[in-house]
Structure 1
Amino acid sequence: MTIACSGGGSDDGAPPPTNVDSPTASTLIFPENNTECNEGVILSDTESAVVFRWNASDNTDSYQVSLRDLNSGNTRTLSSITNELEITILRGNPYAWSVTSRSNVSTQTAQSEEWKFYNAGIPVENFAPFPADLIHPEMGSSIDLPSGNQITLDWDGNDIDDDIQSYEILFGTENPPTDVEGTASDSDLTVNISSGEVYYWRVITIDSQGNSSTSEVFQFRVN
């Protein structure tokens, strides 16, 4: 009698699965949040070179720095294998920046906080406010029509001089919105809405010296 032996599909030679640690988020160091950046090398009347610094994060092989021009809305993405990077930027201009930690052995990434700063330019006595951060409703969101047919717009405003005087809210069904829905001294405003409409809104921040900044446009749909 012949007995046949089968391997039974077992693959004893395969390596055991390994656990890969994901990168951790970095902590930003410089330029500091909501401040004027006075450090850097002046290259011309319009540009300076600033060294961006952040804490090294665990399980990280490289970093991706996102730098957003708050006046134009344009974002630059730059890479570094160390926890600092020199970047040439415009003088007298507001920016927001953040760092993404990446690993060569993991598809997971980790995102730092986003900080804002003004890059120093020709000395001024008073700075314009940072463009407001729109919070609620979120960009591209869909909401059910609330009872009372009203919703509260929320945003966050910041100014190096801490002298924000008022906000002007542009709101409507046209993109970009041009109608002034109202003004506010606090960072919220309740508006009337209707079912089936798409609304667009933005905020103009005004300080005590008459300086102003304009946020990006957010949109939301009412079901």
Structure 2
Amino acid sequence: MRKAIIIFNLFSICFLAVSCSKKEAANQIPSIVQLEFPTQDLLCIDNTIPFNWSDATDPENDVLEYNVIVAKDRQLTDVVENRTLSASQFTVALEKATAYYWQVSAIDVNNNQRSNSSVFAFYTKGNGVTNYAPFMADLQTPENNGSVAAGTVDLVWEASDINTTDTLTYELFFGEDSTLTSIDNTLTAKTFSVSVVSGKTYFWKINVTDNVGAKSIGQVFTFTVD
């Protein structure tokens, strides 16, 4: 009998040890929503905008909400609307003749995790406006607050304009602090190579100008060199 008790206790201890060694599976973030309206680079003829996006799914079937940010800058810091919703749509009246940028994040309410959509740009039409300034440049690489290897680095950006026939030129600002130096204001390609030194931090931005002189002022990105 005593032998049986000892065997049972050993079995119980081993079972508990195995059970405790198993870690719970990490909770997974919701799927990324697809922005449906306003579409990328859309000129909205009405300034009352019905925002729509696809529903997200959650691997654990947790309850989801959506955080919607509408801003006047691509980095979503000059915010005009910031809402958390259970539905995948809402409508809001915005200023006319203004460029906006928007993003939707799907939020796992149970575990406080989120996934962020792309950022889309759109314009609201103005009364009698025939030319619009270009959208802010979308800085692609290096990523903001990212790091790169020493040597030659390609600065890469994207740009667009509601007036699709306009010709765009780019002014690059670059430097080792937030007081940037204009490197070239006649660029037509959306890339520029710079030399960077290990251990330093660099800052850059791109202003975009169309062929009638309308300009959008870019935001500053920074990166460090390994």
- Pick closer, same or farther for the CA change 1:221–1:102 going to 2, 3 Å: closer
Give the 5 Å matches for 1:134-153: 134-146=139-151, 150-153=152-155
1:213 maps to what in 2? 216
Query: Where does residue 25 of structure 1 map in the other structure?
Result: 32
Mapping for residues 1-223 of structure 1, pairs under 5 Å? 8=12, 23-41=30-48, 50-59=49-58, 61-70=64-73, 73-75=77-79, 76-146=81-151, 150-162=152-164, 163-177=166-180, 179-182=181-184, 183-223=186-226
- Counterpart CA distance in 2 for 1:185 and 1:113 is 25
Deviation at 1:40, TM superposition (A): 4.2
Structure 1 Cα separation of the partners of residues 57 and 167 of structure 2: 39
Measure, in 1, the Cα distance between the counterparts of 2:217 and 2:141: 17
- In 2, the alpha carbon distance for the partners of 1:219 and 1:19 equals 32
Q: Against the structure 1 CA distance between its residues 151 and 66, is the aligned structure 2 distance closer, same or farther, given a 3 Å change threshold?
A: same
Between Structure 1 and Structure 2, the one with more helix by share is 2
Judge conservation of contact 1:170–1:181 (CA < 8 Å) in 2. Answer: yes
Residue 39 of structure 1 aligns with an amino acid whose one-letter code is D
Moved more, 92-101 or 65-74: 65-74
Given that 1:20 and 1:105 are in contact with CA atoms closer than 8 Å, whether structure 2 keeps it comes out as no
Cα deviation, residue 56, structure 1: 2.2
What is the number of residues matched between the two proteins? 206
| Residues in 1 aligned to 2:26 and 2:146: alpha-carbon distance in whole angstroms | 37
TM-score by length of 2: 0.77
- Unaligned segments of structure 2, at least 5 residues: 17-23
Instruction: Measure, in 2, the Cα distance between the counterparts of 1:87 and 1:193.
Output: 45
What 5-or-longer segments of structure 1 have no aligned partner? 12-16, 42-49
Q: Matched residue of 1:8: which SS?
A: helix
| Partners of 1:143 and 1:198 in 2: CA distance | 10
| 1:135 Cα deviation after fit | 1.4
Provide the rounded CA distance (Å) in 1 between the counterparts of 2:156 and 2:28: 38
- Change beyond 3 A, Cα 1:213–1:73: farther
Matches of 1:61 and 1:102, distance apart in 2 = 5
Mapped to 1, the partners of 2:26 and 2:202 lie a distance apart of 46
TM-score, normalised to structure 1, is 0.78
- Using a 3 Å threshold, how does the CA distance of structure 1 residues 119 and 19 change in structure 2: closer, same or farther? same
- AA aligned to 1:38 is I
Q: Secondary structure, in 3 states, of the residue corresponding to 2:83?
A: strand
The residue matched to 1:134 in structure 2 has which SS? strand
| Identical aligned residues as a percent | 25
Query: CA RMSD for the aligned pairs?
Result: 2.9
Q: Return the alpha-carbon distance in structure 2 between the equivalents of residues 193 and 171 of structure 1.
A: 11
Distance change (3 Å), C-alpha of 1:103 and 1:138? closer
